[in-house]
Structure 1
Amino acid sequence: MPLSELQANSSGHEQTDVPGLHGYWSRMTAALSGKSSGHNSEFHRDRLLLHVLGLGLEQTTQYLLQNHPGFTEFQDWAFATAGKPSGNTIARLKNLYEDAPLPQDILSLHEQVSNMPDVLSAEDLQHWSEHGFVILNEAVPATDCAEAAQTIWDALGAKEDEVASWYHKGHANIMVQLFQSPAFDKNRRSLRIHKAFAQLWGTADLWASTDRCSFNVPEKPGHVFQGPDLHWDVSLYQPVPFATQGVLYLTDTPPEQGALTLVPGFQHKLAAWLDALPANASPREEDLHALGSVPVGGKAGDLVIWHQALPHGSRPNRGKKPRIVQYINMLPSHLQVHETWL
């Protein structure tokens, strides 16, 4: 319900007036042609627009870059890629862009999540406060993980029992630009996941992300880890606002198997560390592992959520199987985004 029901199209649904879509196309078209677009100030709403329509940021950007479509062509591509938006999706976007009332289905979902028993314990929340990350065990059932993992295997043309199929030029980077799948949507709809994010954000009124996946194969001669290594996905302009990121392990992933790696507690240290750097230093080019990086393994179905101020990334896979994950996040309608990139 946080995502897929909002984008699922009922039979005969013909609504095409999608709030925000023309503005997004216009800003992106201007930005990609080097013109001033106002895109930065609308970044968060644009991100939510794509999420709720079931479109990946990377796939949408690449389509616009490669095709330079007019608006009608762009809209047709969006609907062909992710399906026509439902009435609930349109209503939620009207709430985002026009402050119209939320549909009852969405209000009922928010109430349901708010009234659920907590899935993160007091100890979990203390760990989050101190270390900036938390593990939600059994966020989704093992069967749902297996279905999502198989979707990735199939998309890559690889087989779990054929090691040679894991390696080819298309696997140079661990990221898999795969976004649309009923298996992925089922995980995005997980009420346990929604509740965990609601506990961290303090509200159930959240939007589920349409994020990509990754397939990190074991290193071997001629195939070394290509990253991404430790990094941030947010401007380091201070103060870095609170926000979450998350990764769902689709298979059992011990620490040595290319597990998520981060620097625990660095959300409390980032500002002082930046101030202590030499004037000409580039913080993103520093040895971030020296700050105390730690791999965070997990079982299939475990979700790791971290504070966006933590340096994070994957790591070389020294195990025997690929690390297979689905990125999942949830965000509120309004979020501070610094326009100054540092």
Structure 2
Amino acid sequence: MATLELPLSTETGTLGIMHLKRYWRKCIAQRNGNIDPSLSQSEWSLDMALLSALGLGLQPTLDKLFGQVPSFETFEAWVLEVNGRQLQTDTVSRFNQLVESGKVSPAPDTDISANPFSETDMQFWEENGYVILRNAAEPADCREAVILICEYIGVDEHDPSTWYRQHPDRLGIMIQLFKHPVLNRIRASARIREAFMQLWGRRDIWLSTDRVGFNPPETESWKYPGDKLHWDVSLELPIPFCTQGILYLTDTAENQGAFSLVPGFQHRIGNWLNSLPPEANPRQEDLYALGVKPIAANAGDLIIWHHALPHASSPNTASVPRYVQYINYRPADLEVKKWR
């Protein structure tokens, strides 16, 4: 494979954003099959910090780059359009600081001394690998987000006959809806950021721009299409620390498609993986036999979990849908291992 010349991460375009041109060029090269995959893997965390700083969802960004193969100027114009033609200059400055120096200051509204979780919460987190931030989002914002989801996919929350309509942005229980003022407001909450900072034990973490979810009750003709218990990380040991998060937008009972996980498995995963026969695929094992727990919580509660825990949503056997928003923070130097 010929050596691929890439722009330096410090090179910018008209928007003044570092690493954007390099990221664009890497994606175009990857689409054309002329880039070493290890390069993309080695810069994955910085790439994700870039998308976080620009408020870009990963899937729509890849759809743009791989589907339309835009020029860099067209890509910059799309980034600006997605952001309502106005970038958050403080966030861009913090990202450029990260590229130049490898260090970054906390967001201006962050109380670096705040610890939303109590000592009891932290003990629970250490033991179980998950914790619930109660009242993480305002009730009015949760309600607005539910209305938004319903309007976006064309369903009436009070009419079950509409809950199963097809929509191009409805993929299983995931809705490809990333950007809206209420979603931005919820995910950018200082208290949510401070909770992730407390769990990470560091300030230089970046907010991901993720999607929302809609999980209606099962019927005779519609069955739960979501994933079973799984991991979203390489299982090469040791598994580096990382978080994931899901916010309930309505009160959610255990049988209402609740988010489920295997508590405490971050302490057991190494011994469990090493106990499997060499030919076994751990992702195809009966993970439910490990002791799965569905988590009931209220509207506005944020569940954060260690990504070494097997996790998934679940079939909804209640009478009303489950509405959620996915929220996470991670640092730009997160270790990324080859998928196993």
TM-score normalised to structure 2 length = 0.91
Deviation at 1:259, TM superposition (A): 0.6
CA distance in 2, matches of 1:33, 1:335: 27
CA distance in 1, matches of 2:89, 2:150: 33
State the match for 2:68 in structure 1.
67
CA distance in 2, matches of 1:139, 1:294: 22
State the match for 2:79 in structure 1.
78
Contact map agreement 1:228 1:313 (CA 8 A) in 2:
yes
Tell me the SS of whatever aligns to 1:158.
coil
State the match for 2:286 in structure 1.
287
| Pairing 1:310-325 to 2, within 5 Å after superposition | 310-325=309-324
Tell me the SS of whatever aligns to 2:294.
strand
Deviation at 1:86, TM superposition (A): 3.0
State the match for 2:177 in structure 1.
178
Give per-residue Cα distances to partners, 1:132-174, cap 9 Å, x unaligned. Answer: 0001111111111111121111111111112111112335600
State the match for 1:160 in structure 2.
157
Give per-residue Cα distances to partners, 1:76-118, cap 9 Å, x unaligned. Answer: 1121122342321321121121118857xx56434xx2133x3
CA distance in 2, matches of 1:200, 1:211: 20
State the match for 2:267 in structure 1.
268
CA distance in 2, matches of 1:190, 1:69: 33
Deviation at 1:74, TM superposition (A): 1.4
Contact map agreement 2:48 2:332 (CA 8 A) in 1:
no
CA distance in 2, matches of 1:87, 1:208: 15
CA distance in 2, matches of 1:32, 1:175: 25
CA distance in 1, matches of 2:171, 2:69: 27
State the match for 1:4 in structure 2.
none
Contact map agreement 1:20 1:93 (CA 8 A) in 2:
no
Tell me the SS of whatever aligns to 1:304.
strand
Contact map agreement 1:258 1:315 (CA 8 A) in 2:
yes
State the match for 1:3 in structure 2.
none
State the match for 1:49 in structure 2.
50
Tell me the SS of whatever aligns to 1:109.
coil
Of 32-41 and 179-188, the range deviating more from structure 2? 32-41
State the match for 1:114 in structure 2.
112
Deviation at 1:227, TM superposition (A): 1.0
Contact map agreement 1:194 1:204 (CA 8 A) in 2:
no
Contact map agreement 2:121 2:131 (CA 8 A) in 1:
yes
Contact map agreement 1:48 1:333 (CA 8 A) in 2:
yes
Deviation at 1:69, TM superposition (A): 1.4
Number of equivalences: 323
Choose between structure 1 and 2: higher helix proportion: 1
Contact map agreement 2:98 2:104 (CA 8 A) in 1:
no
- Note the residue ranges of structure 1 that are not aligned, 5 or more in a row: 1-13
Letter in 2 for 1:65: F
Tell me the SS of whatever aligns to 1:299.
coil
Deviation at 1:15, TM superposition (A): 5.7
CA distance in 2, matches of 1:201, 1:27: 29
CA distance in 2, matches of 1:229, 1:219: 15
Contact map agreement 1:208 1:331 (CA 8 A) in 2:
yes
Letter in 2 for 1:242: F
CA distance in 2, matches of 1:240, 1:102: 25
State the match for 1:300 in structure 2.
299
Contact map agreement 1:91 1:100 (CA 8 A) in 2:
no
Letter in 2 for 1:109: D
State the match for 2:326 in structure 1.
327
State the match for 2:225 in structure 1.
226
Contact map agreement 2:258 2:296 (CA 8 A) in 1:
yes
State the match for 1:147 in structure 2.
144
Deviation at 1:29, TM superposition (A): 1.1
State the match for 1:129 in structure 2.
126
Q: 1:172 to 1:198 in 2, by over 3 A?
A: closer
TM-score normalised to structure 1 length = 0.90
State the match for 1:16 in structure 2.
15
Q: What is the percentage of aligned positions where both structures have the same residue? A: 43
Q: 1:114 to 1:63 in 2, by over 3 A?
A: same
CA distance in 1, matches of 2:257, 2:107: 39
Q: 1:147 to 1:176 in 2, by over 3 A?
A: same
State the match for 2:90 in structure 1.
88
CA distance in 2, matches of 1:250, 1:96: 33
Deviation at 1:253, TM superposition (A): 0.5
Q: Segments of 4+ in structure 1 off by > 4 A?
A: 100-103
CA distance in 2, matches of 1:183, 1:245: 20
